[in-house]
Amino acid sequence: MPKADIVLKINFNLNRPDKTVIKTNAKREAISEILGAWLSCQIGQGKDNREPNRKDEYEIVIKLDLSDDTFFTDSDTGNKGLTCGLVGDVFNRLDQVTVANLS
């Protein structure tokens, strides 16, 4: 299990994006910077040809190790492109997304 100083757990509702929730131990004002950095790290990763999982709600967990600014990502999307697209959508609508404390 990788070390994680900061965790963002995103529950993305495909049918009701307004119901998307981020649970995190990060400060609210840092979430935009963290997601922006994560998205930048995805550029150039190559195409993921796996068939995405078809579901109504997805969970994406982004972990950040601050000792070397390394990201680790777990998701149930089945496809890195879908994961990146969902995180990008959350990033673009961050002011509309519910943020809760990670418990």
Predicted confidence at residue 103, as pLDDT, reads: 79
Give the pLDDT confidence of 51-101 residue by residue, as tens digits.
999 999 999 999 999 999 999 999 999 999 999 999 999 999 999 999 999
What does the pLDDT average to over 31-48?
91
7 DSSP β-pair partners: 63
E strands, the chain, are: 6-13, 21-24, 57-65, 70-75, 98-101
Residue type at 52?
P
Average pLDDT, the chain: 94
Phi, psi of 87 (to 5 degrees): -65, -40
What does the pLDDT average to over 31-50?
91
